[in-house]
Structure 1
């Protein structure tokens, strides 16, 4: 488990030392997207090992980053009130526990100790204060941890969820608890290769997770609000992430 977080730290160190990608290499579409989304291209990510053992402390870290742009933000520069996120642990039996990670310069960190066999899920769902913006940005992050064989965690109740079928390469996107057909999933692999996937009618897509290392999977969905919505907003942009370690 320590080696997994060490490999994450190695990735982070490489990202922090890489040079900024030249804007000349970006397509017009990507540039327009960046202008619209701005800092919201970043997302919250939970880094942790996917397996654990009963009675042993299981560490995790939470980053605010855009890995496609080789950018990890220091906690002091996180967008709006994102650093006020709440992190919840869902046990195989459905018990929900609020975790209290500690902030460092670049991430939050903490641990939990499994006491049940089955699938645990770490999850965040935070809608940032939009300020004067007409678009609200909601950041959802997930991590699944298997402790031997046992029950799967319950379906997430957050607005947008990205979950992985038990230790497989199949990913599922849920929007307000239901399968999201034609949903968008972007995956950045260990060697910087990318995958752009669309979910089927059941909200699922099969990813290629063949190489060892960390895959950064992100689902996005924008909800356009009615004109003159009481909130004063025009849209809600949502993302859901998983950092998947393959060893």
Structure 2
């Protein structure tokens, strides 16, 4: 089946004029963790659906200088220490309380794409203990995908997500869903920022949302005429 390139990844290609393919930044981590056991986290830059993961030294601009923040239930977020593994960064954390943890990245590259300011972000929840309703109120990124269906995700199940910006819903946001099988499809969220899709295959998925606005400003001492935001999340379907 033909891969449908998302608006998010299409715009991301403008960030790197010497590449003929699109890129995204995403976090990979299991949706469920175990108390007092190390939980592995990886961060990639490339094209998930086609299994293209760029070498870190070839990442665009200063994207590799991102900070990965860990939000522990009831505590202030902390920066996780990561190791460059060549085609990704790797690290881990050890849950010491039950509840929902969040892994978060927000990174605006120092270089503009023409006259456009770009901002990558990624947000992944990790449930430790008895599954609960995910409470995203503890994280308010400039753009994020909030999973409304998070427990025991299974093949054939209808999944829901909500697109928000700083805690407010984003109507008609463009969202693409990619499976590790190479399948991809683009959706548009409704007026309440809600997206529903069917998990057709087992395995990992990456969801990508994006917004674009003609708004002027200055970034790293350079003027821009428009701003783009893209955000990803990672899930695994059984």
The answer to whether the 8 Å contact 1:121/1:153 transfers is no
| Aligned residues: CA RMSD | 2.6
Q: Please say if residues 89 and 97 of structure 1, whose CA atoms lie closer than 8 Å, have aligned partners that are also in contact.
A: yes
Shift of 1:160: 0.7
Matched, 1:220 2:210: yes
Which structure shows the bigger proportion of residues in helix conformation?
1
Shift of the 184–114 alpha-carbon distance from structure 1 to 2, 3 Å rule, reads: same
> What residue number does 1:129 align with?
110
Does residue 238 (structure 1) correspond to residue 229 (structure 2)? The answer is yes
Structure 1: runs of 5+ lacking an equivalent: 1-24
Q: 1:110 to 1:59 in 2, by over 3 A?
A: same
- TM-score of the aligned structures, taking structure 1 as reference length: 0.79
Q: Equivalent residues in 2 for 1:1-247 (5 A)? A: 33=10, 37-39=14-16, 41-68=22-49, 70-131=51-112, 133-149=114-130, 152-155=134-137, 156-167=139-150, 169-226=159-216, 229-230=217-218, 232-247=223-238
Distance 1:93 1:51 in 2: 18
Distance of 2:39 and 2:97 partners within structure 1: 13
Q: Cα offset for 1:234?
A: 1.1
Contact 1:51-1:145 at 8 Å conserved across structures: yes
2:190 & 2:66 partners in 1: Cα distance? 31
Segments of 5+ residues of structure 2 without an aligned counterpart are 152-158
**Do the aligned residues in 1 keep the contact of 2:55 with 2:87 (CA within 8 Å)?**
yes
- Aligned-partner Cα distance in 2 for 1:35–1:147: 33
Cα distance in 2 for partners of 1:241, 1:79 equals: 17
Aligned 8 A contact 1:117 1:151 in 2: no
Residues 104 and 67 of structure 1, relative CA distance in 2, 3 Å threshold: same
1:89–1:120: 8 Å Cα contact kept in structure 2? yes
Tell me how far apart the structure 1 counterparts of residues 97 and 134 of structure 2 sit (CA, whole Å).
Answer: 11
Farther-moved stretch of structure 1 (189-198 vs 209-218): 189-198
Are the equivalent residues in 2 in contact too, given 1:190–1:211 (CA < 8 A)?
A: no
Alpha-carbon spacing, 1:132–1:107, altered in 2? closer, same or farther (3 Å) = closer
- Of the structure 1 ranges 156-165 and 40-49, higher mean CA displacement relative to structure 2 is found in 40-49
Give yes or no for contact 2:3–2:185 (8 Å, CA) kept in 1: no
**How far 1:208 sits from its partner (Å)?**
1.3
